[in-house]
Structure 1
Amino acid sequence: MFTEIAIVVFLTLLNGLLAMSELAVVSSRPVRLKILADQGSRGAATAIALAQDPGRFLSTVQIGITLVGVLSGAFSGATLGARLSGWLVEQGLSASMANGLGVGSVVVAITYLSLIVGELVPKQIALRAPEAVAAKVAPGMKLLSRVALPLVILLNGSGKLVLALLGQSGSSDEKITDEEVRTVIAEAHSAGVIEAEEQEMISGVMRLADRTARGLMTPRRDVEVIDLEDDPAEIREQLRHTQRSRLPLRKGSSDEIVGVVVVKDALDGLLEGRPVDIEALAREAPVVSDRTSALTVIEKLRRAPARMVLVYDEYGHFEGIVSSGDVLEAITGVFEDEETGEPAIIEREDGSYLVSGWMPIDEFAHAVGLGLDKEPDYETVAGLVIDTLRHLPSLGENFAVGGFHFEVVDMDGRRVDKLIVRKLPS
């Protein structure tokens, strides 16, 4: 009897090992397995190979689990159940009652053991450290797959045939989405792996790739420009008092930027008392369309002698500039202006938000949790207002979109300056 009990316990443990192997390999993250494999783990490399052919791997596991189940059922009912029934008869019970009680008790006991030792505990172990478990069990699963190769081929082929009849290719889309990456980052922050500031900057980098030159640029109205037709004394005063390190050059009211001057180059001559030809000091700046992707703009910015990119629209009108500071703000968030001290967004005591119209729409959506189209036709909160209303708003005009209520509370001429944004009740 002890031999039969030992066999049942062994089969239960084997079932648990198979269940743990299945869940560990399926739930392992390929990136982590790749890291372990690069560090010399042969088991991780084997686990990657198993995961790349899930049909064959699952067929192997199912063969093992089914075989264990059949053997365990045979021993529990025919052997242990019969022995317990015979013992109960010796104790004075009737044959029918002893048979039912003996077999039933053994089935219940083995079922309970199978659920705990053969399923729940192994699967919890696999979920806690899937990559480590997968690396350890993968060689054994590969060996089992070779031993049961004919049955594995039969089951795998049959499974693919049924999938084809159901209109499924049998392949899955394993591409990682932006939302999944953000979820992983949020989990890392919750676990204390990264700081809140690091999380925000990583999110900023992800948003940066979705922007265009228009979403990165400092708009034309905020760009300080040197007019070459101004009096030289006026130009010298502008150079002395500017807070910028580089300034675009233009001639009169022309929309054409003729170059970019590095302020230090001009000040060196002024401090030495030499006459300075500003136009001669001009450096070339590349020109991009306002719809150019942010990554392309950054690549051009890296190669630009003036460390500045000029942005023009499809009609050839100058729209703004992109500097390294604009790229940094896209990652870390907009810096407050020292003169105005105007933040992009302020959360008020009642839970509403005071929002500047110039705030980038992706940063605003991230801050308040607003869902947006994949590629909106606007770059700022003001653009969202105009795109929704389809006209230039008037003071006090309001509307609702995406579960939020927007109210225009300040206009700067024809520019949407300030809004109050409230989240609507569910």
Structure 2
Amino acid sequence: MTTELWVIGGIILVLIIFSFLFSGTETGMTAVSRARLHSLAAGGDPRATTVERMIERKDRLVGALLIGNNLVNILASALATSVLLSIFGDRGVVYATIGMTVLLVIFSEILPKSLALFRPEQFALFVSPFARVVVFIFGPVSSMANFVVRGLLQLFGINLGRDAPMVSAHEELRGTVEVLHREGAFVKQDRDRVGGLLDLAELEVSDIMIHRTAMRMVNADAPADVVVRDILQSPYTRMPIFKGETDNIVGVVHAKDLLRALHEVGNDPAQIDIMAVARKAWFVPDTTTLRDQLNAFLRRKAHIAIVVDEYGEVEGLVTLEDIIEEIVGEIADEHDVDMQGVKQEADGSVVVDGGVPIRDLNRALDWELPDDEATTIAGLVIHEAQMIPEEKQAFTFHGKRFIVMKRNRNRIVKLRIRPLETNLVKGV
């Protein structure tokens, strides 16, 4: 009888080891970084390729591991109960329950899962041969179980195959970057750049374009010397050309093309035919996403496009630099005019031009003002107030105090924004 007890004890030990592998494999396979796996697989690690294939059907993998884990746990508990019943009688059930609970919780749950979470990639690679055998043995049973589960969930209106995941890949990546920034692994500038890149698919050119009221253009009907002077004095390399009225844009002049034309006529501006120098204007819809527009710029090797609405009316212009600035932040050179329109005051408030984009303000000051309903800070105030405010009128929303400093007709020209914490300190 003693030999039999030792044999059964050895079997229970082996079953606990298998339970260790099942639990650790489940945690390691679900916690592993797919990006890291892809990198290892590209580097020639066959185990990483195996793990990638298995987690493509994670429901089948997890189901197989759970089936195997439950089998060995139940069998180990049953054997322990039978042994202790033969030794202690009816009290053996209590001893078996307590003893197996302690053993399984420590050695089959906490220990393997802690190891797997500590180094998920290394653990997953180590147990990949074991996981492949488990899926081969229990995979068909797991598929049947998943089929039953899906049927039961459909009774409650949940379709696992149809319903989209709660978090998209972009949102998951954005959340990861935010966590890394909070932990100190990402500086603010790096977080903003990655966030700007992810935003390209969600933003439209109308969100970042230079509005037609702020566009700098030249009149093709003006005297040639005036046109040449306006273009050469402009801080911009490319200038739209209009005829008759500003909505009638007939081309875009590049400063280099103009300089070449001037050289050919002996630097006499009066002899310049501006329409002969101008290039054809490129018109794009205002609903084009920044990602599509960036790809179009690169494909056409162009740097500027005129933005039009659904009726073909000019709304503004967008440049390649505008889109790149959404990723890397403000780009300035020695010819740029300071157009940020943001001034930090000594009392903690910020004086802002009404036309400053909300996204730029959020990025510069690390604020979180919403930009869903308005593009500029003036538009946000009008949207929230549901009116065009008067000068000196103040509003409080989104944790800030907005004071209208200057208004020109129906346009808010300048605002003072004060965080509510500053208001409390100053007694405002």
Name the TM tier (shorter chain): 0.7 to 0.9
Gap change, CA 1:120 and 1:422, over 3 Å in 2:
farther
Aligned position for 1:234: 226
Aligned position for 1:368: 367
The unaligned stretches of length 5 or more in structure 2 are 422-428
Aligned position for 2:352: 355
**Alignment equivalent of 1:205, drawn from 191, 197, 207:** 197
Are the aligned partners of 1:201 and 1:332 in contact in 2 as well (CA < 8 Å)? yes
**Alignment equivalent of 1:387, drawn from 383, 391, 399:** 383
d(CA) in 1 for partners of 2:246, 2:155: 67
Task: Give the superposition deviation at 1:287.
Answer: 1.2
Does 1:128 pair with 2:118?
Answer: yes
Are the aligned partners of 1:24 and 1:133 in contact in 2 as well (CA < 8 Å)? yes
Does 1:273 pair with 2:277?
Answer: no
Among all aligned residue pairs of Structure 1 and Structure 2, give the percentage whose two residues are the same amino acid.
Answer: 27
Does 1:36 pair with 2:27?
Answer: no
Deviates more, 1:188-197 or 1:321-330: 188-197
Does 1:47 pair with 2:41?
Answer: no
Aligned position for 2:23: 19
What do residues 335-360 of structure 1 show as CA deviations (whole Å, max 9, x unaligned)?
A: 57988745354566666544332222
| 1:96-115 mapped onto 2 (5 Å cutoff) | 100=91, 107-115=97-105
Letter in 1 for 2:391: L
What do residues 238-260 of structure 1 show as CA deviations (whole Å, max 9, x unaligned)?
A: 34422221222223545312211
Aligned position for 1:91: none
**DSSP-derived class of the 1:368 partner:** coil
Task: Give the superposition deviation at 1:62.
Answer: 2.6
Aligned position for 2:152: 162
Letter in 2 for 1:168: I
Letter in 2 for 1:411: R
Are the aligned partners of 2:261 and 2:277 in contact in 1 as well (CA < 8 Å)? no
**DSSP-derived class of the 1:407 partner:** strand
**DSSP-derived class of the 2:127 partner:** helix
| 1:61-210 mapped onto 2 (5 Å cutoff) | 61-79=65-83, 83=87, 100=91, 107-148=97-138, 151-152=141-142, 155-171=145-161, 173-174=164-165, 176-189=168-181, 194-210=186-202
Gap change, CA 1:156 and 1:219, over 3 Å in 2:
closer
Are the aligned partners of 2:371 and 2:380 in contact in 1 as well (CA < 8 Å)? no
Number of paired residues? 408
Gap change, CA 1:319 and 1:147, over 3 Å in 2:
closer
d(CA) in 2 for partners of 1:365, 1:240: 34
d(CA) in 2 for partners of 1:294, 1:215: 9
d(CA) in 2 for partners of 1:56, 1:49: 11
Task: Give the superposition deviation at 1:122.
Answer: 0.9
Task: Give the superposition deviation at 1:82.
Answer: 5.2
Deviates more, 1:163-172 or 1:320-329: 163-172
The unaligned stretches of length 5 or more in structure 1 are 86-95
Task: Give the superposition deviation at 1:265.
Answer: 2.4
TM-score for the superposition, normalised by structure 2: 0.80
Gap change, CA 1:7 and 1:419, over 3 Å in 2:
farther
Task: Give the superposition deviation at 1:17.
Answer: 1.2
d(CA) in 2 for partners of 1:341, 1:243: 11
Letter in 2 for 1:173: A
**Alignment equivalent of 2:293, drawn from 294, 297, 301:** 297
d(CA) in 2 for partners of 1:339, 1:170: 54
Gap change, CA 1:396 and 1:276, over 3 Å in 2:
same
Are the aligned partners of 1:189 and 1:199 in contact in 2 as well (CA < 8 Å)? yes
Letter in 2 for 1:147: I
Letter in 2 for 1:56: R
d(CA) in 2 for partners of 1:154, 1:315: 56
d(CA) in 1 for partners of 2:45, 2:222: 70
Are the aligned partners of 1:19 and 1:119 in contact in 2 as well (CA < 8 Å)? yes
Letter in 1 for 2:198: M
Gap change, CA 1:10 and 1:283, over 3 Å in 2:
same
Task: Give the superposition deviation at 1:182.
Answer: 1.2
Gap change, CA 1:197 and 1:341, over 3 Å in 2:
same
Letter in 1 for 2:355: W
What do residues 34-56 of structure 1 show as CA deviations (whole Å, max 9, x unaligned)?
A: 44334334433333443344443
Are the aligned partners of 2:358 and 2:369 in contact in 1 as well (CA < 8 Å)? no
What do residues 295-323 of structure 1 show as CA deviations (whole Å, max 9, x unaligned)?
A: 34334434557632112334544332222
Task: Give the superposition deviation at 1:365.
Answer: 5.0
Gap change, CA 1:350 and 1:71, over 3 Å in 2:
farther
Aligned position for 1:263: 255
**DSSP-derived class of the 1:60 partner:** helix
What do residues 177-231 of structure 1 show as CA deviations (whole Å, max 9, x unaligned)?
A: 5432211122344566654323211212222332222222222233222223333
